[in-house]
Each structure stands twice: as structure tokens, then as C-alpha cells.
Amino acid sequence: MYIPIWILFAGVIVYFYIKNRNKDILDDVPRNIDELWELAESYKRHVLEKSPNLEDYLQDERDMINSMERDMIRLKERYKHDSEKQKHIANDWVDFAKAIWDTKSARERLDVNVGDDAYDIFDEATKEAFIVTQEITERVIKDLGEDSAMKIVGDRMKKRGEDADDILNKNNI
């Protein structure tokens, strides 16, 4: 298969641009709750940025980050008199937003990767982010119960996954 050199060159440029565009976010280590919330907001803005060719594939990430933000604000208000819990909530919000941003970045890299092992690289790059989002989501749903916006998004995504599995199983039989 012949791939024009200019496409490979453009792919390499896009890859390094995506990889390094938010490096300055990670340079400063936040020291207080307000800085943690600002850092999480920064990650959220990057997740919500438009991505050419991937808009249809990033809706889940956008729904997750918006729902988690609502849940985190609700938790922040619920525990406003407990500074230790506030710090824990802010750290979870930063970790969740960063994990979603990592997933979005991995999807963008997957879009430009022409190698045979592109999906393996994607799976490896999103493994930790997936676990982080699952664990934080479980804690938030446990704290908020039926009030959790993430529960609604999680249930919808789980249902879609089950539907997709059913379709795949029917086609394989």
C-alpha cells in the first residue's frame, strides 16, 4: 500500500501538536481547592473543544464531563463545611477531567495513526483513564445516589454497550 509522504508528515505534526498542546496545564501543581477546580475546568474546556472528524465519537466524553461537573458541584455544596472532603472532591474532579481528556487525546491520536497496532496503542493509552473514570464515578454515585447525573449517563452508555454486544453476538451465531 502506498501512502504519500505528505500524509505521513501531516500525521506526525498533528500527533505532536495534540500531545504537547496542553503540557503547560501539568506544569503547576495546585495547592488549594480553588486551584484544583480551575485545573479541572481547564481539562473540561479541552475536552469540549471541537475535534475535526471526531465529533460523532466524542459525545460520550462530553456527556460524562458535563454530568460529572454537575455531580461535583452538588457534592461540593453538600460538603461545604468539611474541608477535608472538599479537597478529596476537588482531587477526584481533577483526576476525572484529566482521564476524560486523556481518552479524548487518545481518540485523536487513533484517528491519525495508520499503523497496524493503532487499536492496541489506543487500548494501552486509555486503560488507566478508563479505570480512573469508573472508580470516581462509582464513588460519586455512591455519595449522591439517585441524584447523580453520572448515573443516568452511565446507565445509558451501559445499555448501548449491551445492545452492541447483542448485535455482535447475533451476527456471530
- 111 vs 23, 49, 98, 105, 123, CA distance in Å? 21, 16, 20, 10, 13
- 15 vs 2, 28, 90, 109, 146, CA distance in Å? 21, 24, 30, 6, 40
Residue 91 CB: number of other CB atoms within 10 A?
15
> In the prediction, which pLDDT does 11 show?
72
> In the prediction, which pLDDT does 54 show?
60
Q: What tens-digit pLDDT sequence spans the chain (173 residues)? A: 566 777 766 776 777 676 666 555 444 555 688 888 888 888 888 777 776 656 666 777 888 888 989 999 999 999 989 889 999 999 999 999 999 888 888 888 877 777 788 888 888 888 999 999 999 999 999 998 888 888 888 777 777 777 777 777 777 65
> In the prediction, which pLDDT does 39 show?
85
> In the prediction, which pLDDT does 75 show?
92
> In the prediction, which pLDDT does 2 show?
64
> In the prediction, which pLDDT does 51 show?
66
Q: Which amino acid, 106?
A: A
